[in-house]
Amino acid sequence: MAIPAPEIRPEAKPYWDALAEGRFQIQECKDCNNRFYYARPFCPSCMSRNVAWLPISGNGTIYSFSLVRQKGAIASAPVFVALDDGPTILSALVDCDYDKLAIGQRVKLKLMPSDNGPPIPFFTPA
């Protein structure tokens, strides 16, 4: 599967650098303790700019998913994952039996290489 490299915005560079080192991280507001994803220079809850990067496990549960079919075959499986350490994020499921997926199922992070860029976070059953 060819995955295009992401466009890396300055505020997200620490996120992509960590993924290139095999680490997964999100941001946390030091004023209100809100943990959030995607990267931005301020907390989306209280608008504070006192935010820091927080390493997390990459484990979570399926909150919601969809099976995208192309000519009857499953082409992809977008998923919302409720991370154990923070927010719910949008990604995709890989390396799984699509017929056995379920809401609430445990998943773990799986980094997949991109074309000439950092790895991309996907999830697979735990």
CA 30, chain centre distance (Å)? 22
Q: What is the mean pLDDT of the chain?
A: 95
Same domain, 31 and 72: no
Boundaries of domain holding 18: 9-56
> What is the per-residue pLDDT for 60?
98
Same domain, 66 and 115: yes
Same domain, 96 and 34: no
Same domain, 86 and 125: yes
Q: Are 100 and 8 within 8 A, CB to CB?
A: no
User: Once rounded to an integer, what is the mean pLDDT over residues 51-60?
Assistant: 97
Please check whether residue 93 lies inside any domain of the structure: yes
* Count of domains forming the chain: 2
Please check whether residue 95 lies inside any domain of the structure: yes
Radius of gyration over alpha carbons of the chain, in Å? 15
- What's the pTM value of the predicted model, to 2 decimals? 0.90
Please check whether residue 114 lies inside any domain of the structure: yes
